Chains A and B, each alone.
Chain A
Amino acid sequence: MTRLNAPFGTRINQDNTLRFTFEGRTFEGFEGDTIASALAANNQWMLSRSFKYHRPRGVMSMAGAEANTLVQVAGEPNVPADLTPLKDGMVITAQNVNGNLARDRDAIMDKFGRFMPVGFYYRTFMGPTKSAWLKIWEPLIRKKAGLGIIDTATPRQHFDQQTLHCDIAVIGGGPAGIIAAVEAARSGADVVLIDDQPELGGSLSYAPQTDVDHQALGDMAQNEAGLRILTSTICNGLFEDNWLSLIQGHQLIRARAAQVILATGSIEQPAVFRGNDLPGILLGSAAQRLMHHYGVRPGGKAVVLAANPQGYSVAHDLVAAGVDVVAIADPRKDGHGVPPTGVPILQGMIQEAGGCAHISKVKIRDEWITCDLLVVSVGQTPAWQLPCQAGASLGYDEASHQFSINLKNPTIHLAGSVAGHIGHETVCASAGAAACHATGAEPEELPADPERASANYHQPLIPHPKGRDFVDFDEDLQIKDLLNAVKEGYRELELVKRFSTVGMGPSQGRHSALATARIVAGATDRTVAQIGVTTARPPTGPETLGVLAGHEHVNERRSALHQQHVALGAEMKPVGPWWRPYLYGTGDRTSLIHDEVAAVRENVGILDVSTLGKLEVRGPDAGAFLDRIYTMAHGNQPVGRVRYCLMLSEMAAILDDGVAYRLAEDRFYVTATTGAVGRVYADMTFWNAQWQMDVDVVNITAAFCGFNITGPRARDVVSALSSDINFSADGFPYLHGREGNVGSIPVYAMRIGFTGELSFELHCPASQANALWDAVMAAGKDFGLRPYGLEASRILRLEKGHILIGQDTDALTSPDELGFGWAVSKKKPFFVGKRALEMRRRLGQKRTLVGLTFPADAADIPGESCLVLKNDIPVGHVTSVAYSPTTKQTVALAYVAADDSAPGSVASIRCRNGRVIDTPVTAHCFFDPDNERQGI
């Protein structure tokens, strides 16, 4: 089929032909076409089969709103054919067909419609047995469910994200949006104008008005310096504080605007009559879009249902495009417009449309008229989605039969037809007023809008005796379905929706909300305003998960020493977001790990602890603040000392532990566990927001690195460093901290440890971590200093019975259950969790963490998480298990009933293999219980 000549076909380039296939047949289209326009130009109107009845469906709105136009493009399902630009070589198929589009075997469902009334699936598919749903019916229904087919082999594509800030965001690039944006920009504001179409102009780009220069309007916007214009960009969400989600192809733009002007226009509504879903029935705007944008003549012989002035404009357009308009049907008693020359006006409503896979006739005044195109123009609703997302309520103007939007947000303003303005002069004035509101200027009064009263036709919605008068095309719902839902007691609109599924399809009620509200209002004796619409939710238009997810990005953190570990042959493993050395070297992993343990116990080892959380707490109240946050006393902690920190929740459950090194009267360097530092920092700021103390907390985790040098020869290693710190036994006692330098590198040194051996921990700025590591490794060379990994560290700590927060504790563990009474100050008047801890103490302790040991040759050794039972009731579980190479036995920590926690008591544990073993409990320190090796 040839295309219409200029001025039609503004979007297509007829010099560039694109070839594609649809349902196995090859077609040609032009650059600038959408899939649907190219197919329409080839007289292929049917695009899909409907969800439930498998009725033929095709283009209706050309605005990408309904399920009718969803097609499969290669492995991508549910592609809106009327929005998606055609590409050369596209392979397109129809969705939801059994067989092929033209001959869909499931079309028989249409014949059985009366057996499938609204909500029928709630009434049946329950027998013959209780499992029938899962075994028989659901598999059958799942076969029929859904539309397109996803290709699970689709490779990951590139998606991008960016952020944008502006004073004023104007959504909608029609006349109202252009004028509002230009006027706001002229007042000096930083304005962004956003439109989902490729060109500015809105409806003027396809529905020209004789007295408006569409081109000049667009030029005015383009020429306005300082006005940023984003076309082909849909605003899909208006979130709290004017946080906008804008989708531009494969890019998500998050925008923050101080003020928002919504000029989102209106949505043309279909008419409801029997057969209103046949391909070849187009909304007036759809016919105009096809002609003006794509140069497609929408039919040969047309009937126009014109119940408003726009319908007459469309009729004139059709004639200009060479369509034979055989009649105009106008259901209104008076106020008819001027028809094209020679076209008769038949006063009456379309009673029925007939045809097999395409419209072939319409019935008006009880007579059939032959045609291959029916263009429908009965009215519109304001595009309520974005205003309602922002909290607007909908009213209904009984005089003009349309929804009205009430939005009380001082930063969001409506302009144009979304605010109910129809006449061009009023539209422009409303845009100017919106710009004034957004820029703080005084707006002028709006002129009267004589065109408003006639723009919408209130169609009586009476069910056709034979049905097939569709209100919701996506969900195949007819007038009677909604009436029957109300009869069943689903009288509230949200219940009508949930029971009938009206508005739940891809169009999200764009074409059904108004008719639904009118039907439900009529059936329940309420006004349309009382019914309204269901909650508007983002996204406004379809958006892919890919564009929301952005580029493939997994949070990954590496210590500054990462390459050192790799060079030393470390096997790196993820621990939360961090990658940490698990062990060093290759070979038998168990013996490598045991060698690392032995190195620490017998000589000296080094562990990268850079992943530890690090916080700087500073200010006159720093000590008092930590007194409240942690259980031990920090206010009286002398400068230069390091103290253990234990953090409790308000339920006295252990949240975290670490150490606090007092650098100065008003400065602490505090560590937190790797996984919990975010939570600890958040809690500290949360509490201080309430306490208002003179203190400041900074999370400096990424800024510092640290490593722990541990083992009998640790002092030899640090003493060999070129440093101003006195590392001698007398000069640097246990739990002391020193600030100094190693060479020129500033360090914090602390005598703390997790392994039970003499340990020094050195922390320095991350930027100098490699130099410090090199210095320490060089100093340790003569003493056999050996790096060790995470697994050895876990064994070393378990041999000492040191707990790991999160592994040996759960969300309710109290300090007493661990025997940590020593870590809780008895003198402080307050710390978070103190009150709960005292209450829990009064109520008595139910479980206690104890040690367990198993000979190396034991037959059954419980795994971690195995249950500890008492009278066959779980009273605790095993939290940590490992073979201890130092003590040559398997050691474990477990919760047992508090009554059974004394050394020598017996715990019953069910192993993974199901066998229950009885094992004596011990104290939970398996090595050097008197801490002699630490040199305290």
Chain B
Amino acid sequence: MPLKLLKYGLARDYPVTGDIPATPDLRKSYDVVIIGGGGHGLACAFYLSKYHGITNVAILEKGYLAGGNTARNTTTIRSNYITPEGIAFYKEGVELYGEMSQELDFNVMFSQRGQLTLAHSETTMRSFHLRAEMGKHMGTRLEVVDQKQVQELCPHLNMDYGGALEILGGLWHEDGGTARHDAVAWGYAAQASRRGVEIHQRTEVESINVNGGRVQSVTTNRGEIACGQVMIACGGANYEVAMKAGVRLPIRCYPLQAMVTQPIKPWLHTLVSSVSLHTYLVQSSRGELVIGGGSDPYQSYSTRSTLDMKEHLAQGAVHMFPFLQNMRLLRQWAGTTDMTPDYSPIMGASPLDNLWLDCGWGTWGFKATPVAGKYMAQTIANGKVPDILRPFGMDRFTSFELLNEMGATAASH
């Protein structure tokens, strides 16, 4: 029995930690206003308050805390990307996850059990070799494995020898893992609010008032607030919120769906994904199988899930593990992903002096929560984009210095 639990067992009344303070009244002005109370906004507020001494910060959240893609993603954490800039960035993200529970004194259950991506074609093997070469060059744990190694890493897979979907090999990413997504947001929220950051739930930004190339104030459903610096980190709503400041982002939104089965005793220890089947699976610490895939093939803001995708994901899962046919599905859901043309995020400066962007996170935002928070806080505190974020600037779309991560997502989109 861990000692920390003694206080609960021995106290007469439940000892309240108070993770998330009730929403206070809005003040007239803040040094920093963060639009979007998801993982990224909360992480940024945490780093601002802890490492830069900036605590006069308001986080504005339209709904409930971290209820967007932070709540809906399938919690994969990895750094097996293709571009050197991307790998360097996500690699630090993975490392920050390794320290997060201690940093936040909140167990985010970072479980680094490795990710195995399967190749069913020579084309995929070729792309795995490229990712592995690039990953090794950048110092991540990433290697191409053959059929035998695939079987050893994941003994229950249907190898489909001789079939159209024979598993030819895989990409083994030992650094890959998962974490409890909600806990990441709550841990940041608790630590940031303890340092004075205000979290305003059910506070929707109605307009962003721009004058002289700067954001002067933000009007919400609860009143207008003046602001020194503003950051947009609104996930699926990024395009619309940025438009309120007159900033047009190169973003298109697609639904992304996932589903989860009833809990069973753990049998699957790694994350497994298949590029050809557009399906990936991971078993949570509750014993549920989380199953995800690629984005829907059309643009939409709807978060109502579809039967087509459910059938597709079930087909993929049952093909990989035929014995899953008797697993019962518990729930299917959807979120809105803000996709950029090159499948990399947009971080850093905007055309306005004091408006900062943490957008375009598409289907890959959760893993970057700590690292994006860390460097966006640095950006806002210093008024200057650090080198590691420079390649992700919005200006890359006019200079065509694109960061092509297409095909680097767990299931190809």
Contact = CB atoms under 8 A, between A and B. Distances in A.
Interface of A: 51, 70, 75-78, 112, 114-117, 120-127, 130, 133-134, 138, 141-143, 145-157, 159, 237, 239-240, 243, 245, 252, 254, 389, 391, 480, 484, 487-492, 494-495, 498-499, 506, 508, 535, 537-539, 542-546, 548-550, 553-556, 574-577, 579, 650-651, 806-807, 810-812, 836, 839-840, 843, 863-867, 873-874, 877, 910, 912
Nearest to B304: A240
Closest 9 pairs between A and B when the two form their complex, measured CB to CB: A146-B287, A546-B325, A489-B20, A548-B314, A865-B129, A492-B64, A115-B9, A865-B130, A811-B406
Contacts of A549: 311, 314-315, 317-319, 325
A147 B201 CA distance: 36
Contacts of B342: 651, 811-812
Contacts of B105: 126
Nearest to B101: A126
A550 B163 contact: no
Contact of A138 (B2, B111, B126): B111
A615 B176 CA distance: 43
A741 to B, nearest CB: 36
A843 B111 CA distance: 44
A145 B264 CA distance: 7
Given A544-B325, A554-B319, A498 B182 contact: yes
Contact of A134 (B112, B166, B332): B112
Given A494-B67, A554-B164, A548 B111 contact: no
Interface string B10-22: 0000101111111
Contact of A539 (B306, B325, B329): B329
Given A124-B5, A133-B107, A545 B14 contact: no
A138 B106 CA distance: 15
Nearest to B8: A117
A337 B223 CA distance: 54
A593 to B, nearest CB: 15
A240 B304 CA distance: 8
Contacts of A159: 325
Interface string B92-112: 000000110110011101111
A554 B107 contact: no
Contacts of B137: 867, 874, 910
B224 interface: no
B237 interface: no
Contacts of A145: 263, 265-266, 285-287
Contacts of B201: 492
B134 A843 contact: no
Nearest to B82: A810
A122 B186 contact: yes
Interface of B: 1-2, 4-6, 8-9, 14, 16-22, 63-65, 67, 71, 84, 98-99, 101-102, 105-107, 109-113, 121, 123, 126-127, 129-130, 132-134, 137, 156, 163-166, 180, 182-183, 186-187, 201, 261-267, 285-288, 302, 304-307, 310-311, 314-315, 317-319, 321-333, 341-342, 398-400, 402, 404, 406-407
25 contacts: A75-B326, A77-B262, A77-B264, A78-B264, A78-B327, A120-B8, A123-B5, A124-B5, A143-B266, A156-B322, A240-B304, A245-B310, A488-B16, A489-B21, A495-B65, A506-B262, A538-B310, A544-B327, A545-B324, A548-B315, A650-B341, A865-B133, A874-B134, A910-B137, A912-B129
A542 B264 CA distance: 14
B102 A130 contact: yes
Given A147-B263, A487-B16, A874-B134, A806 B327 contact: no
A319 B163 CA distance: 64
A606 to B, nearest CB: 23
A156 to B, nearest CB: 5
Nearest to A78: B262
A550 B404 contact: no
A112 B330 CA distance: 29
Given A134-B112, A150-B324, A812 B404 contact: yes
Given A123-B107, A811-B407, 11 more contacts: A120-B8, A124-B2, A126-B101, A145-B287, A487-B18, A492-B63, A542-B329, A545-B326, A811-B404, A843-B399, A874-B134
B318 A546 contact: yes
A545 to B, nearest CB: 4
B208 to A, nearest CB: 25
B227 to A, nearest CB: 25
A836 B402 CA distance: 12
A810 B126 CA distance: 12
A126 B102 contact: yes
Nearest to A804: B123
Contacts of A157: 325
Contact of B14 (A126, A484, A542, A575): A484
Given A498-B182, A864-B126, A120 B5 contact: yes
Nearest to A556: B164
Contacts, number: 293
A123 B406 contact: no
B111 A245 contact: no
Contacts of A508: 330-331
Contacts of B187: 122
Nearest to B318: A549
Contacts of B306: 239-240
A146 B133 contact: no
Contacts of B133: 865-867, 877, 910
Contact of A554 (B21, B71, B134, B163): B163
Contacts of A650: 341
A491 B22 contact: yes
Contact of B9 (A112, A147, A840): A112
Given A492-B64, A549-B318, A123 B17 contact: yes
A790 to B, nearest CB: 10
Contacts of A240: 302, 304, 306
Contacts of B84: 873-874
A494 B310 CA distance: 23
Nearest to A576: B121
Contacts of A548: 310-311, 314-315, 329
A154 B9 contact: no
B288 to A, nearest CB: 8
A812 B344 CA distance: 13
B266 A142 contact: yes
B331 to A, nearest CB: 5
Nearest to A481: B14
Contacts of B64: 492, 494-495
- Chain B CB within 10 Å — which of A549, A812, A839 has the most? A549
A148 B109 contact: no
B260 to A, nearest CB: 9
B9 A488 contact: no
Contacts of A651: 341-342, 400, 402
Contacts of B266: 142-143, 145-146
Contact of A148 (B4, B126, B265, B332): B265
Given A545-B261, A651-B402, A125 B2 contact: yes
B89 to A, nearest CB: 15
Given A839-B400, A877-B130, A115 B109 contact: no
A119 B261 CA distance: 21
B16 A156 contact: no
A115 B1 contact: yes
Contacts of A245: 307, 310
A574 B164 contact: yes
B243 to A, nearest CB: 20
B21 A538 contact: no
Nearest to A121: B107
Given A115-B9, A151-B323, A538-B310, A492 B65 contact: yes
Contact of B307 (A237, A579, A866): A237
B393 to A, nearest CB: 15
Contacts of A117: 8, 14
A650 B404 CA distance: 14
